Amino acid sequence: MLSRRVFPAVLLSFAVFLIYAGAGIPDSWASSSPFRFDASVPEEQKNQLSTDLERLRDVSLAELGLKLPDGKDLLQDTVRMMGLGNLSSHELLQWISDRVQYLVGESFTLTAKNLYAPSQRGFVFENRSEMPTIETVASSGTPAPTAPGTVVMSNLGPAVYYAGKQQDMLMGLKVAGKKVPVTSPRSGILRVGPGLFMLKYMPNQTDASAVSNSIHRLGILFHEARHSDGHGKSLGFFHAICPSGNLQGLNACDRNLNGPYQVGARMTQILTENCRLQGACSVAETEKLRVQYLDSYSRTLLETSASKASAGSDSQFEIEMLKSKISTCELLLSLTHTEAAFCKEVDELRGKLAALEAAPAAMTSVPGLPSVEWDASPEGQRE
């Protein structure tokens, strides 16, 4: 039987934008929309997201004179970091379009109903021996979270691509009336989460159509689009476990200097300041957006946490990999109704998993390592 907990470690570690609990398309726009909407997206959400994209298309960015902590010009360095030609609305929409193709609703699930096994003829996964690290609470040595986060949006493309790469089997999703083989993290299939349109997270809670609310959602869109980048060790720009604060224990931080939280924070800051200068955002809206982008900036970890699992139980990462393999095998068997060669030892995997989970954990102290920018070039080519 198909487990409803498909790819749990993958989705929780990189494809999800979390907000901490305390803290139909118009015809004139459809042809130029960077992505297609699945039927699972409610009509009102389609309209609001279409308005967000129209506003990004029409934005005229002024010279803002904003500086980074190291003194670099924010706009110029963001152009460099994101690989843009310039910071124009055309370039920004193209950047999103290169990374996002489809948007599905909150009800869309990774089950046999929406997954399928495409023909793998001629397809080869790049960097087959290189896999990204999936952080867990146990492997990071961080206490479990004291409160849940709210999922705002998630990027399903890299999750499905990574699961297929683990087993060297191409996988696909049925979305927007099409069968989409996930041949690259750039397949770009985003899922709306319950928090994306929650009024309590909006900068303007009295006018749902306010420009400031569009900026809030666009920042999240840029964040999720970054997850479509990366290859080998940087595939999907996996999130790290936050080591402290109110996000402690959640996969809601980055161990790199150019990841989703950095991209989302910079774009939110730039669009917010531009909105303020043009008189389209009030002081109160500007301040609320400022709190949001500063929160995102704070989720970039400048160095690796100073503890990790020691060799004796350094097996926590292996535990998560085994769980993911077992879930993937269950999924593939339900899709193909045949016993895939690499899943024949699934009972043996379950036994190994039980033994590893029974072993005591131990932690050892290591020096902190400074974070760096990751290589954002993607694996494969989307269809």
The count of other CB atoms within 10 Å of the CB of residue 199 is 10
Share of the chain above pLDDT 90, in %: 57
Contact 118, 170 (CB under 8 A): yes
Contact 188, 175 (CB under 8 A): no
Domain regions of the chain by residue span: 8-304
Contact 77, 10 (CB under 8 A): no
pLDDT tens track for 185-205: 999 999 999 899 999 999 999
pLDDT < 50 stretches in the chain: 1-6, 8-15, 20-32, 306-315, 335-339, 361-365
Residue 145 is predicted with a pLDDT of: 52
Rg of the chain over Cα atoms, rounded to whole angstroms, equals 21
Angle between helices 211-226 and 283-298 (to 10 degrees): 20
Residue 101 is predicted with a pLDDT of: 95
The first and second tokens of residue 206, run together, are: 């009295």
CA dihedral 303, 252, 76, 214 (to 10 degrees): -170
Residue 304 is predicted with a pLDDT of: 72
Contact 312, 365 (CB under 8 A): no
Residue 112 is predicted with a pLDDT of: 86
Residue 134 is predicted with a pLDDT of: 80
Residue 194 is predicted with a pLDDT of: 87
SS3 21: coil
Residue 29 is predicted with a pLDDT of: 37
Contact 342, 164 (CB under 8 A): no
Question: Could you give the residue ranges of the DSSP H alpha helices within the chain?
Answer: 8-13, 27-30, 43-58, 74-82, 89-97, 137-140, 156-167, 211-226, 260-277, 283-298, 316-336, 346-358
pTM for this one? 0.81
Residue 49 is predicted with a pLDDT of: 95
